[in-house]
Structure 1
Amino acid sequence: MKMMMKIAALAAMTLPATALIPAAAQAQQTAVANLEGAVQQSAAYQGATAQIRTTYKTQIDTLTARQNALNAELQPLITALQNAQQAPNATEASVKPHYDAAQNKRNAIQAELAPLYAPIQRVQAYVEEQITAKLDAAVKAAMKKRGTLLIVRPEAAFIADPAADITTAVTAELNTLIPTASITVPANWQPGQPQPAAAAPAPAATPAKQPQGR
């Protein structure tokens, strides 16, 4: 969620113009960028994802197997709900028990799977936070190299030439700024909290003054 909020803030980024821009040049200096995609395409993200799949393979396999089993239990309730909705004389009263049964089962599944997914989700969030910490600098560098003054999200553009998309350029800058990301989460790390700065070195001890002779 915090990753998405940060990306949304960057998506409307502008760089200050040094002079008024002719209308004909404005199109060239406006770009689109999928910043979430830029993060996910980065070498750091791809490498960390591969490490997570290897390091947490047992947990992922357990989670997947349990999710499949629970979904198999949910499916008959979904089917019953659909049948109730499509019945000729369906009413809210006749459908509600089936809806409640399916919803309660879905909630139970989410509650059971959440603890299994939490460790993996925590690592993923840590990886994303490391990369998005460099996203501001990466976007500005890509904009500067392209002479871009404004970027918008792809869905905000009515129509855009593929040449206006700087997503790949942002990814390239991320690859320079953060080639790799760690999947070792610090013990006290919390998403969105600034990491404590490294302790400053202790000042050198001041030698004791020698007594002055008379």
Structure 2
Amino acid sequence: MKTIFSSLAALGLVTAGAALISEAPAQAQVVRGIGVVNLRAVAVNTSAYTTAAQQRQVTYRAQIEQAEQRRQQLNAQLQPLAQRFNTDRQAANPNQQSLQQQYQQIQQIQQAGQEEIQRILAPVALSVAYVEEQISDQLNTAVENVARRRNITLIFDPSTGSPIYADAAYNMNQDVINEMNRLLPAAQLVPPAGWQPREIREAQAAQNGAAQQQPQQTPAGQQPTGR
């Protein structure tokens, strides 16, 4: 082997061979037939979504401007109340009852204002939901079509780590069912006396273990005995 290796080195083939060997692991890391698709990122970058977002600003301009105007009015109303609340709270002896009343007033105005703004923007929110539903209805079909064209058999969503598409060849349900039927052909219907679900048994075992690990306390007034 040493002679052969030396001969290869003399011919200048060792370096090339080493390069091929070092590249092999990198090539082996690419698994054919597997892909990743971030469904949310795909949805919000489609032409349907981006075009609808632009058109929505025009179609619902009246509601958007009305909501923005109401938001500015609400902020103008709340700002002096918040300043007064902060000033009174920093006093040497703040009146807690007055502070509580001020806080409740601010909360009520803020909540009522937010609900009003939501009512104004309700048509806009409905438009967003309608567009997203249309995109969602076609998303699975788009994934399946691309998977077939690119010979992809398994696709994961990296945002969740869950598979979103799998070829039928990956379906092992029936195989596992058959194995379970072999391991456990039938289950006992009536539990034995004193039986408890696993969660309860494990919790009780943990409690018993913790109780046994607690150090024994010396009774009051009794000194530890020495040798």
Q: TM-score w.r.t. structure 2 length?
A: 0.46
- Which structure is higher in RCO with an 8 Å CA cutoff and minimum separation 6? 1
Q: Which protein has the larger Cα radius of gyration, Structure 1 or Structure 2? A: 2
Q: TM-score w.r.t. structure 1 length?
A: 0.48
